Amino acid sequence: MTQTSNTPPVIIRPSEEGDLPAIVAIYAHHVLHGFGSFEEVPPDSIEMARRRGDILAKGFPYLAAELDGRVVGYAYASAYRPRIAYRFSVEDSIYVAPDAPRRGVGRALLSNLIARCTGLGYRQMVAVIGDTQNLGSIGLHAALGFRVVGTLPSIGYKHGRWVDSVFMQRALGPGDSTLPNQQTRPD
């Protein structure tokens, strides 16, 4: 549980199947109105359930954020890339309900996701942020130790304009300062 000043506590927990209607609605908003996702058509609940199931089946965390008893955000980690050499790296995804910004939801989700992925033995976390003007997401990641490692200019086209992707990265645990334990490596 995380609490920010002047707001009720944000509760972070593993997502449940019953959270899917809220997750679908939150994601649909971002697909239709923002650049955090480069999808242009929101997936339906069956597709979102399939995606969540795939992530959980691979042992990655998929979290929900509750505020006042309502799911107002979600986050998950997934493989950064499928090739074996990337097995110690994850990519984060975070989405917050449009009526819950600046209430500590994103920070609580990302902090918890970082801790869980560190505990699972991952060594690097990558954020692929849609739009260089997405100052909220860039600022959140920077506040939690991520640094900009690159930008792909005009890599996507959405809502009638070219959109950049910003790559940010942070070490998890000892990062690359030690060799990973090959016996307990993430798969």
Domains of the chain: 10-184 (3.40.630.30)
- pLDDT at residue 181, as a whole number: 77
Query: Would strands 124-130 and 89-96 be described as parallel, antiparallel, or unpaired?
Result: parallel
Each residue's pLDDT, cut to its tens digit, for the chain (187 residues) gives 444 456 679 999 999 999 999 999 999 999 999 999 999 999 999 999 999 999 999 999 999 999 999 999 999 999 999 999 999 999 999 999 999 888 899 999 999 999 999 999 999 999 999 999 999 999 999 999 999 999 999 999 999 999 999 999 999 999 999 998 765 556 5
Q: Rounded to the nearest 5°, which phi and psi values hold at 98?
A: -65, -20
**What's this model's pTM, rounded to 2 decimal places?**
0.92
What are residue 43's DSSP bridge partners?
none
Alpha-carbon separation of residue 75 from 103, 114, 163 (angstroms): 16, 11, 22
Sheet of 124-130, strands arranged across: 10-14, 62-67, 70-79, 89-96, 124-130, 161-171, 147-158
What is the three-class DSSP state of 91? strand
